[in-house]
Amino acid sequence: MVPWQLLSRSFRRYPVRPPNSGIARRKSIWERIHLDPWLIGLLLVLMVAGLFVLYSASGQRIEAVIAQAVRFGVALVVMVVIAQFSPSTFLRWAPIAYAVGLAMLIAVEIAGDIGMGAKRWLEIPGVIRFQPSEMMKLAVPLMVAAYLNRCQLPPRLRDIAVCGIIIGLPVVLTAIQPDLGTSLLVASAAVIVVLLAGLSWKLIGFVGALMAAGLPVLWMNMHNYQRQRVLTFLDPESDPLGAGWNIIQSTTAIGSGGLWGKGWLDGTQSQLEFLPERHTDFIIAVLGEEFGLVGMLMLLALYVMIVGRGLWLATSSQDTFGRLVAGSIILTFFIYVFVNVGMVSGILPVVGVPLPLVSYGGTSSVTLLAGFGILMSIHAHRRLLPR
């Protein structure tokens, strides 16, 4: 018996049930509105902190802060509304959402708007501008979880192959937009579902080995400019005015912050615009410069607490679908944080991943909070069954 199996026994007592099973406990107000007070509280603290950083990062434009706050408000409403649906609704709608999302991705490929050099947007003129790949961040893991919910777990090879197709189609369609960052996030959200479902270690090891072996082949087949990007990531100083500029400036901003930081609104790298994309993808460098290591660790702690609470909720879920979806949502959230902070601090290559609920931007906030809505729905709709 491997150690984690020993450890896992301690989870047996969960989910916690009221002492007098069989008698319906009086529901708290939070349970009645299907929300989790801990998670909401942590998210609100994060959002408020994010608005403070945004004020500094936007060059002290209050309009940006207001616009972001409005988006947060909309996203919170979406979260609350979604939390009211029962998980079975998501289970039923998952294939439809997936199919619609896939259709829209194909539509984007055929008739999409080009923005920032890539086809990402679908527009019904005058009504809505929409990024289908954003929706797929939730639709794909939901679909995979829904499929695996039907299977006996751990999944057999055939089920995994089906999952591979479910994941592969939207990921490839997103990647050729091209939006490699989003496609990787969609893929990882879905793969996490498969991993949580119990993908066999042999298979994980095999795929890992295959990828490691594939790296040199990939390198041989890369274009020169792509290789250059990889090299620049490994040594940003080699191209200080080009691709290396962002990383040099962001590490300089973070490093010069020191332990306590230069003070709010006093970061020279940020305020004098040396830091690129300071209010979007690189916003954490502003925090690092103005609030120092202390501020950075406080923010990381906040994120870790949210992830911890989310995992707790996922584990306390009563059915497989709920567990897989909740686990995937919360771990994907963590991947956002890790990739963004890793990128800005120079240990990961630059891919366009915003810092959740801190970076300026509407779509990702809505998607994220919609995800938390699903998470809370799964938690709050537990049936209080006797053992």
- Of 63-71, 114-122, 196-204, 207-215, which part binds another protein (CB under 8 A)? 196-204
- Of 115-123, 164-172, 173-181, 192-200, which part binds another protein (CB under 8 A)? 192-200
Q: Is 385 in the site for another protein (CB under 8 A)?
A: no
Least separation in angstroms between residue 251's CB and another protein is 6
Residues 230-259 that bind another protein (CB under 8 A): 249, 251-259
102, containing H or E segment: helix 87-111
Q: Is 92 in the site for another protein (CB under 8 A)?
A: yes
Least separation in angstroms between residue 318's CB and another protein is 9
3-class secondary structure, 366? helix
* Residues 6+ away with beta carbon under 8 Å from 271: 56, 59, 265
Q: Are 278 and 286 in contact (CB under 8 A)?
A: yes
Nearer to another protein, 180 or 307 (CB): 307
x-or-dash string of contact with another protein, 11-50, rule CB under 8 A: x---------------------------------------
Least separation in angstroms between residue 379's CB and another protein is 14
Nearer to another protein, 7 or 210 (CB): 7
For 386, which DSSP code?
A: -
The rounded distance, in Å, linking the Cα atoms of 352 and 376 is: 28
Q: Is 203 in the site for another protein (CB under 8 A)?
A: no
For residue 230, the one-letter residue type is: V
Q: 180 vs 64, 109, 168, 219, 316, CA distance in Å?
A: 27, 15, 13, 17, 34
Among 1, 24, 272, 385, binds another protein (CB under 8 A): 272
* Residues 6+ away with beta carbon under 8 Å from 192: 141, 327, 328, 331, 332
Q: Is 95 in the site for another protein (CB under 8 A)?
A: yes
For 221, which DSSP code?
A: T
Q: Residue 169's closest CA among 261, 106, 233?
A: 106
Residues 282-301 that bind another protein (CB under 8 A): 288-289, 292-293, 296-297, 300
Number of residues that bind another protein (CB under 8 A): 61
Among 89, 228, 268, 363, binds another protein (CB under 8 A): 268
Least separation in angstroms between residue 286's CB and another protein is 13
For 2, which DSSP code?
A: -
Q: Residue 278's closest CA among 47, 48, 54, 46?
A: 54
Q: Residue 360's closest CA among 132, 67, 158, 151?
A: 67
The rounded distance, in Å, linking the Cα atoms of 132 and 174 is: 9
Q: Is 74 in the site for another protein (CB under 8 A)?
A: no
Least separation in angstroms between residue 228's CB and another protein is 18
For 359, which DSSP code?
A: S
* Residues 6+ away with beta carbon under 8 Å from 121: 108, 112, 113, 115, 129, 130, 131
Q: Residue 356's closest CA among 67, 37, 38, 53?
A: 53
Least separation in angstroms between residue 259's CB and another protein is 6
Strand order of the sheet with strand 113-115?
113-115, 118-124, 128-130
- Of 67-75, 206-214, 224-232, 322-330, which part binds another protein (CB under 8 A)? 322-330
x-or-dash string of contact with another protein, 147-176, rule CB under 8 A: --xxxxxx----------------------
Nearer to another protein, 28 or 152 (CB): 152
Residues 299-318 that bind another protein (CB under 8 A): 300, 304, 307-308, 311, 314-315
Among 31, 229, 342, 363, binds another protein (CB under 8 A): 342
Interface residues with another protein (CB under 8 A)? 4-5, 7-8, 11, 91-92, 94-95, 146, 149-154, 195-198, 249, 251-259, 268-269, 272-274, 288-289, 292-293, 296-297, 300, 304, 307-308, 311, 314-315, 319-320, 323-324, 327, 331, 334, 338, 341-342, 345-347
